[in-house]
Amino acid sequence: MESIIKGFMDLVKQRNQHEPEFLQAVEEVAETVIPYIVDHDIYYGKNILLRMVEPERVLMFRVPWIDDTGEIVVNRGFRIEMNSAIGPYKGGLRFHPTVNLSILKFLAFEQVLKNALTTLPMGGGKGGSDFDPKEKSDGEIMRFCQSFMSELFRHIGPNTDIPAGDIGVGGREIGYLFGMYKKLRNEFTGVLTGKGMSWGGSLIRPEATGYGTVYFAQSMLETRNDSFEGKVVTISGSGNVAQYAAEKTIQLGAKVVTLSDSGGYIYDEEGINTEKLEFVMDLKNNKRGRISEYVSKYPNAKYVAGERPWGVKCDIALPCATQNEVNLDDAKKLLANGCFVISEGANMPSEPEAVHAFQDAKILYAPGKASNAGGVATSGLEMSQNSLRIVWTREEVDQRLRKIMSNIHKNCIKYGKQDNGYVDYVRGANIAGFVKVADAMLAQGVV
Ligand code: NDP
Ligand code: 2IT
């Protein structure tokens, strides 16, 4: 088996040199899915995984715009249309200086399997730009978004490809992107998700990824007759996903003690309560400040520059910032401190060695493609409401989100439960997602 996996990976590596994040994401899937393919005649010998790792289409384009000083700036725009076997391409846009093909292809590949897990009819895609939104004026953000959309608009559409937010793309950016799309197409459609409530957005979409990550952790805890009540929780990041993961964690009676950004983390031993979280939301979303400012307001907390929060003792850790933010050392620290639940709000935040350490320790570990699927699932619910031209209540959307997260959990157990009772959520999520996409691809022929 190892030689089959190695043969497959050698080919993928040869074709995708200099794409370490993409290769990392593919290898994790190959390790769990290839043994399954070999065991199942309907998938064997059809190069199905090889087809899945090749994007259906990669778009790359120039994004020129003029900054506030009058200088012409040139960024790169991308959209990876990865797989449309079960529905139109669907996935976020990331604006961050590190964005490149490798990162977007890893995200698009993960998205294909994640979207399949949601049970909703969505294919997978991802896009973005190496544009850095930090310290840009509102006018600069708008002009950048308009330039970006003035090319992207010809490739997307409500039945073709429906982008949404990711790192650096929130409600403000979706608004500017939507406005430009509408102007160019002269059409008001649900072409983007994460829209504002008065122009086609869905209630709970802003909260969905963070809430979903916590709902998934709740389902894992229930397998051990446990709950969030009284637990100590460390969270990384302080953006959209981290904020709402913290909100739901607090609502469930647990204590959130950390948040972070790329500068460092804050540790509040007394717990970040609702009032403190409101301060963080205003600081990050309206003032666009740094998490270090938390300690000026709450001096009992401490700020640790240049580090990640994984050395802080906790029961549950929710990595909600970015890829590869938990390495083997971090994993060892988490385990040594008694952490027994990891639910990933971010995409691929744990390095492979960290994942293996969690699995060897038999803790409850959920990979992002399962645990953070609530965001895109609620995007799917936004698309349904747009198509039906109706608006569901907060309760209705939240109920559907809970149901979807609980179904994903069940599906992970179906394919991931081992003879000794341990649930390998990585295997479960990868195979469950693979089966759905592979069946559709096989039915549709070699296209
Ligand atoms: P935001 O832009 O709202 O927040 C990102 C947070 O992560 C910020 O606190 C940011 O800090 C931090 N961060 C970003 N890059 C780095 C880095 N290289 N090192 C350390 N910290 C970093 O993004 P989201 O909250 O939307 O996304 C967070 C994660 O969740 C990403 O992995 C994303 O792919 C994933 N995700 C998002 C979904 C969504 O619906 N938004 C859905 C599913 C997954 P700083 O401000 O310093 O950059
Ligand atoms: O990684 C993700 O799932 C997202 N950024 C959300 C994608 C979406 O289309 O809502």
CA of 433 relative to ligand 1 center, distance in Å:
24
CA of 375 relative to ligand 2 center, distance in Å:
6
Q: Probe ligand 1: pick from 21, 169, 322, 330, max atoms within 8 Å of CB?
A: 322
Enzyme catalytic residues: 126
pLDDT the model gives residue 76: 98
Whose atoms come closest to the Cα of 163: which ligand?
2
Residues with CB under 6 A from ligand 1: 165-168, 170, 209, 237-242, 261-263, 320-322, 345-347, 372, 375
Ligand 1 atom 48, closest CA: 262
Based on the domain organization, do 335 and 213 belong to the same domain?
yes
pLDDT the model gives residue 233: 98
- For 28, the 3-state DSSP assignment is helix
Q: The CATH number of the domain where 305 resides is what?
A: 3.40.50.720
* Residue 103 falls inside a structural domain: yes
pLDDT the model gives residue 331: 98
* Residue 308 falls inside a structural domain: yes
Based on the domain organization, do 125 and 70 belong to the same domain?
yes
Q: The CATH number of the domain where 70 resides is what?
A: 3.40.50.10860
* Residue 336 falls inside a structural domain: yes
- Nearest CA to 45 among 414, 433, 436, 438? 438
* Residue 251 falls inside a structural domain: yes
Query: Where does a domain end: 316, 335, 366?
Result: 366
- For 178, the 3-state DSSP assignment is helix
Query: Where does a domain end: 342, 366, 390?
Result: 366
pTM to 2 decimal places: 0.98
Based on the domain organization, do 154 and 236 belong to the same domain?
no
CA torsion sign, 244 to 249 to 255 to 256?
Answer: negative
- Nearest CA to 431 among 409, 447, 416? 416
Q: Probe ligand 2: pick from 156, 161, 166, 401, max atoms within 8 Å of CB?
A: 166
Residues with CB under 6 A from ligand 2: 90-92, 111, 114, 164, 166, 193, 347, 375-376, 379
* Residue 441 falls inside a structural domain: no
- Distance, in Å, from the CA atom of 81 to the CA atom of 55, rounded to the nearest integer, reads 6
Range of the domain at 353: 208-366
pLDDT the model gives residue 158: 98
* Residue 315 falls inside a structural domain: yes
* Residue 69 falls inside a structural domain: yes
Based on the domain organization, do 238 and 336 belong to the same domain?
yes
Q: Going by C-beta distance under 8 Å and a sequence separation of 6 or more, which residues neighbour residue 166?
A: 91, 92, 93, 94, 107, 126, 128
Based on the domain organization, do 224 and 354 belong to the same domain?
yes
Please report the atom of ligand 2 found closest to the CA of residue 373: 3
Report the relative pairing of strands 89-95 and 124-129 from DSSP bridges. parallel
Grouped pLDDT means (10 residues each) for the chain, 447 residues? 97 97 98 98 97 98 98 98 98 98 98 98 98 97 98 98 98 98 98 98 98 98 98 98 98 98 98 98 96 98 98 98 98 98 98 98 98 98 98 98 98 98 98 98 98
pLDDT the model gives residue 301: 98
Report H helices in 153-222.
Answer: 171-185, 205-222
- Dmax (CA) of the chain: 65
pLDDT the model gives residue 328: 98
Based on the domain organization, do 126 and 84 belong to the same domain?
yes
pLDDT the model gives residue 342: 98
Based on the domain organization, do 351 and 223 belong to the same domain?
yes
Based on the domain organization, do 212 and 326 belong to the same domain?
yes
Based on the domain organization, do 242 and 306 belong to the same domain?
yes
Q: Probe ligand 1: pick from 103, 261, 344, max atoms within 8 Å of CB?
A: 261
Based on the domain organization, do 136 and 245 belong to the same domain?
no
Based on the domain organization, do 183 and 241 belong to the same domain?
no
393: amino acid identity, one letter: T
Based on the domain organization, do 220 and 359 belong to the same domain?
yes
Q: Which two tokens stand for residue 397?
A: 């959307």
Query: Where does a domain end: 187, 216, 235?
Result: 187
* Residue 425 falls inside a structural domain: no
CA of 282 relative to ligand 1 center, distance in Å:
17
Count the neighbouring beta carbons within 10 Å of the beta carbon of residue 73: 15
Total domains present in the chain:
2
Report the relative pairing of strands 255-261 and 57-66 from DSSP bridges. unpaired
- CB contact at 8 A, 73 and 67: yes
